């Protein structure tokens, strides 16, 4: 009888102090923030907001998921923030330019992060990049670009965004006369193309086909 009472006492202690802690999911009642390296309206922002809508369903505890935009330097500002300022408590997710790895490899000015120390979760898509030129320009082939004497202005959002990846090929291999004009985000470059401020831009295919 005495042994039974001791067992019941142990069970009650576990029930009151231990089991609730085991049963409660870590994310229950918490807020998970997705830091987006671009302003609202672009592809990275739309993807993050779509993720924020459905992600709670698949995380035990169903946390509230918020999106915080932190644009600048092709998402390098956001990467610096996540690496240096955000607490490593599993409550912050960063979404950056897919080519941000080049910032560190090229030792770009302003890099304050080490990509090897990020915990990579995954990517919402795998896409090809395409280089586009306004249809009203006289270029119909790479040979036309190579022979052109006028400067072709290409929009970009920073040193290593999608559009910038075409620079070494166009300039160093083709010898094309190209220069970059930097804008805050892709939406601004689309407007610049429509206003004929720039002549070309490098997109992911899913973005380019919308236009």
* pLDDT tens string 123-174: 877 777 888 899 999 998 888 988 888 999 998 877 666 666 676 678 777 8
Task: Output the DSSP codes for 116-142.
Answer: GGS-----S----EEEEE-TTSS--SH
* Planar angle of CA 132, 135, 136, nearest 5 degrees: 135
Summarised one tens digit per residue, pLDDT across range 23-80 is 689 999 999 999 999 989 888 899 999 999 999 999 999 999 999 999 988 889 999 9
Residues 6+ apart with CB under 8 A from 14: none
Question: How many Cα atoms within 13 Å fall on the side-chain side of residue 90?
Answer: 7
Please report, in angstroms and rounded to a whole number, the separation of the first and last CA atoms in the chain. Answer: 80
Please name the residues in contact with 129: beta carbons below 8 A apart, sequence gap of 6 or more: 162, 165, 166, 202, 203, 204, 205
Domain covering 31-117 in this structure, CATH number: 3.40.190.150
CATH 3.40.190.10 residue ranges for the chain: 129-208
Contact 112, 84 (CB under 8 A): yes
- Report pLDDT digits (tens) over 166-202: 766 787 778 888 888 888 878 888 899 999 999 998 8
The structure's pTM equals 0.67
Taking domain 129-208, whether its CATH number is 3.40.190.10 is answered by yes
């Amino acid at each position: 009888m005495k042994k039974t009472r001791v067992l019941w006492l142990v069970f009650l202690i576990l029930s009151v102090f231990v089991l609730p802690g085991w049963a409660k999911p870590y994310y229950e009642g918490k807020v998970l923030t997705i830091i987006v390296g671009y302003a609202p309206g672009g592809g990275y922002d739309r993807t993050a907001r779509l993720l924020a809508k459905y992600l709670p369903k698949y995380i035990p505890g169903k946390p509230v998921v918020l999106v915080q935009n932190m644009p600048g330097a092709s998402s390098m500002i956001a990467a610096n923030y996540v690496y240096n300022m955000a607490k490593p408590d599993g409550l912050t997710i960063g979404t950056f330019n897919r080519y941000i790895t080049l910032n560190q490899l090229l030792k770009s000015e302003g890099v304050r992060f080490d990509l090897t120390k990020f915990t990579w979760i995954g990517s919402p898509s795998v896409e090809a990049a395409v280089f586009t030129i306004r249809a009203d320009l006289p270029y119909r082939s790479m040979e036309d670009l190579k022979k052109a004497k006028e400067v072709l202005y290409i929009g970009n959002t920073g040193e290593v965004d999608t559009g910038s990846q075409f620079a070494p090929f166009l300039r160093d291999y083709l010898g094309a006369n190209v220069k970059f004009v930097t804008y805050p985000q892709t939406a601004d470059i689309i407007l610049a193309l429509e206003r004929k401020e720039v002549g070309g831009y490098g997109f992911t295919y899913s973005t380019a086909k919308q236009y």
